[in-house]
C-alpha cells in the first residue's frame, strides 16, 4: 500500500476524531493538535501453508499483508473508552471498571478482551477516545480480528508507555480471543500480525514459537485472495468442534500406544499415522491425517521457497486444499469451486482455502500480467454457478503492526 494512501486514511481519521471528540468543546479545540494523536497501522495476514496446525502445535508459513486496520486516538482523562468505527459506521462506550462481554456489539468485544487482559496482568490503563477505519475485509480469513486486537494492544502500549514483550503481546491478544470472545483460535493470527516483515514469510513452529524469516520476493507475482463472501463467524461454526476432535484424538492415541510424549497431533509421525488407520474412529483418523500431512507440506514448502520453485509450491497448495476438503472437512461448495477453477488457469500457482474454512476465502499466487484474465474467468464461472460475484484482493507482504508518525508518511 502506497504511503500516500496511508496518509489519506490517517488524515480522514484525524478529521473524524476532531469532529467527534473535540468539536464543540472550546477548551479542547484550542489545545487539539493533530501530532498528539497516536496512529497505529495494523495489517491483516495470509497463511501460505499450514492450516489448522497452530492449535495442534505444528508448523506454518505465514506473514502480514498490506491491508490494514487504521487507528488514531488519545487519552480522555476519564474512566471510560469511547470508540467510533468509520468502516462499520458504529460506535460504543464502556467503563474500564466494568468490562463485560456484550453479544450485541460483536466487534467491540475484541477490544474489550484485550484491555481486560492487560489490566489482569497489572498494566495501568486509563480512558481514551479512538477512531478506527479499515481496508481489510472482515470475515474473509485474513484475520481482521487479530489485526484489531494487536492494533489496540499496540495503541495502549504507546499511549500509556507500557513495557510489554512482543511475545507477551501475542499471547495477551490470543487469550483475549480465546477467553473473552470465546473463539479457541491458535497463535498464528496474532503472531503473523505482530511479526510480519516486508518481502519475507515466517516459518513458524507453534510448539515453542520459534520462527525463521524466509525471503519471498514476489517480483512479477502477487498474492491473490478471493473472497467467496460466504460469511462465517468462528464462534458459530464447527471450528471449536474440530479443536475438540483433535484433543480427543491425542488422548486416544497417547493411551493406545502408551506414550505420554504424544501431547499434540504434531507429535504423531507419518509412519505412526499410517499404523492408526482402522484402529481409531474414521472421523478422528481423518483429522489426524490432515494435521500430520499438513505439517509435512509445510516442510516441503519451506524447501521450495528457498529453491524459489513457485510451481512446486503451488502444487503443494492444491494438495493442502484437498486435505482440508476431504480430511478436515472445513471447505464449502463455493470454496471448492474457486480452487477447482483456479487449477485450470494459466499464471496461477496453487490455491487453497485460507483460514478456518466454513466460508471465507481462498489464497493463490498469480502472475501480475495475468491478473485481469484470471479475475474475468473466475467471476464468470462463479456468477454462473452461484449468481454472486466474489471479491478479489491483491496483496503484497508487509511489516507487522506499528505506530506511525503522520508527518513522516
Place of cell 514483550: 165
Q: What are phi and psi of 194, to 5 degrees?
A: -80, -45
- Measured CA to CA, the distance from residue 194 to residue 204 in angstroms comes to 13
Residue 236: active-site member: no
Handedness of CA 71, 77, 81, 87 (dihedral sign): negative
Hey, which residues does 203 pair with through a beta bridge?
A: 61, 212
- Measured CA to CA, the distance from residue 328 to residue 283 in angstroms comes to 9
Catalytic residue among 54, 129, 133, 189: 189
Closest CA to 131 of 91, 188, 97: 91
| Contact criterion met (CB below 8 Å) for 351 and 362 | yes
| Contact criterion met (CB below 8 Å) for 179 and 380 | no
Q: What are phi and psi of 89, to 5 degrees?
A: 60, 40
Q: What is the DSSP letter of 144?
A: H
Helix (H) or strand (E) holding 141: none
Calculate ∠ Cα 297-302-307, nearest 5°. 120
Query: Could you list the active site residues?
Result: 189
Amino acid at each position: 500500500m502506497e504511503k500516500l494512501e496511508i496518509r489519506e486514511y490517517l488524515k480522514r481519521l484525524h478529521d473524524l476524531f476532531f469532529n467527534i471528540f473535540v468539536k464543540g468543546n472550546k477548551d479542547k479545540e484550542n489545545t487539539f493538535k493533530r501530532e498528539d494523536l497516536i496512529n497505529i497501522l495494523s495489517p491483516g495476514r495470509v497463511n501460505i501453508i499450514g492450516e489448522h496446525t497452530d492449535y495442534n502445535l505444528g508448523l506454518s508459513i505465514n506473514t502480514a499483508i498490506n491491508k490494514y486496520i487504521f487507528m488514531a486516538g488519545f487519552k480522555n482523562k476519564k474512566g471510560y473508552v469511547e470508540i467510533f468505527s468509520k468502516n462499520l459506521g458504529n460506535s460504543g462506550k464502556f467503563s474500564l471498571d466494568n468490562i463485560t462481554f456484550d453479544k450485541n456489539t460483536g466487534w467491540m468485544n475484541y477490544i474489550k478482551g484485550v484491555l481486560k487482559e492487560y489490566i489482569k496482568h497489572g498494566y495501568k490503563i486509563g480512558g481514551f477516545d479512538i477512531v478506527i477505519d479499515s481496508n481489510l475485509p472482515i470475515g474473509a480469513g485474513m484475520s481482521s480480528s487479530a489485526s484489531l486486537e494487536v492494533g489496540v494492544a499496540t495503541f495502549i502500549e504507546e499511549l500509556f508507555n507500557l513495557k510489554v514483550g512482543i511475545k507477551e503481546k501475542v499471547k495477551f491478544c490470543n487469550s483475549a480471543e480465546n477467553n473473552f470472545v470465546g473463539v479457541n483460535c491458535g497463535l498464528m493470527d496474532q503472531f503473523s500480525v505482530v511479526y510480519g516483515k516486508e518481502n519475507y514469510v515466517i516459518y513458524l513452529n507453534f510448539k515453542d514459537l520459534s520462527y525463521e524469516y524466509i525471503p519471498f520476493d514476489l517480483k512479477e507475482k502477487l498474492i491473490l485472495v478471493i473472497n467467496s463472501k460466504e460469511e462465517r463467524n468462528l464462534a458459530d461454526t464447527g471450528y471449536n468442534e474440530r479443536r475438540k476432535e483433535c484433543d480427543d484424538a491425542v488422548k486416544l492415541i497417547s493411551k493406545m500406544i502408551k506414550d505420554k510424549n504424544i501431547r499434540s497431533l504434531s507429535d504423531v509421525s507419518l509412519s505412526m499415522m499410517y499404523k492408526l488407520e482402522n484402529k481409531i474412529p474414521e472421523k478422528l483418523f481423518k483429522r489426524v491425517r490432515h494435521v500430520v500431512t499438513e505439517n509435512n507440506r509445510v516442510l516441503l514448502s519451506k524447501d521450495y521457497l528457498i529453491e524459489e520453485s513457485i510451481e512446486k509450491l503451488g502444487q503443494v497448495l492444491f494438495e493442502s486444499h484437498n486435505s482440508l476438503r476431504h480430511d478436515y472437512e472445513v471447505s464449502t461448495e463455493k470454496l471448492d469451486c474457486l480452487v477447482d477453477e483456479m487449477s485450470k488457469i494459466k499464471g496461477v500457482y496453487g490455491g487453497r482455502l485460507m483460514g478456518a474454512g466454513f466460508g471465507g476465502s481462498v489464497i493463490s499466487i498469480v502472475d501480475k500480467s495475468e491478473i485481469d484474465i484470471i479475475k474475468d474467468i473466475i467471476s464468470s464461472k462463479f456468477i454462473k454457478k452461484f449468481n454472486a460475484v466474489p471479491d478479489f484482493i491483491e496483496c503484497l507482504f508487509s511489516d507487522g503492526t506499528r505506530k506511525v508518525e503522520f508527518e513522516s508518511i
